[in-house]
A and B are shown apart, each in its own frame.
Chain A
Amino acid sequence: KAGVTQTPRYLIKTRGQQVTLSCSPISGHRSVSWYQQTPGQGLQFLFEYFSETQRNKGNFPGRFSGRQFSNSRSEMNVSTLELGDSALYLCASSLEQQARADTQYFGPGTRLTVL
Chain B
Amino acid sequence: AQKVTQAQTEISVVEKEDVTLDCVYETRDTTYYLFWYKQPPSGELVFLIRRNSFDEQNEISGRYSWNFQKSTSSFNFTITASQVVDSAVYFCALSEAQEDTGRRALTFGSGTRLQVQP
Contacts and interface: CB of A to CB of B under 8 A. Distances in A.
Contacts of A106: 37, 44-47
Interface of B: 31, 33, 35, 37, 42-47, 50, 52, 91, 95, 97-98, 101-111
Given A100-B31, A100-B52, A109-B44, 18 more contacts: A33-B106, A35-B106, A44-B108, A45-B106, A45-B107, A50-B103, A55-B101, A55-B103, A56-B98, A99-B102, A99-B104, A100-B33, A100-B97, A103-B35, A104-B47, A106-B47, A108-B44, A111-B43
Interface string A22-46: 0000000000010100000011110
Nearest to B32: A100
A100 B110 CA distance: 23
Interface of A, secondary structure class, is strand
A43 B108 contact: yes
Interface in A39-72: 42-45, 48, 50, 55-56, 58
Of B44, B45, B52, B95, which is in contact with the most chain A CB atoms at under 10 Å from its CB?
B45
A112 B109 CA distance: 22
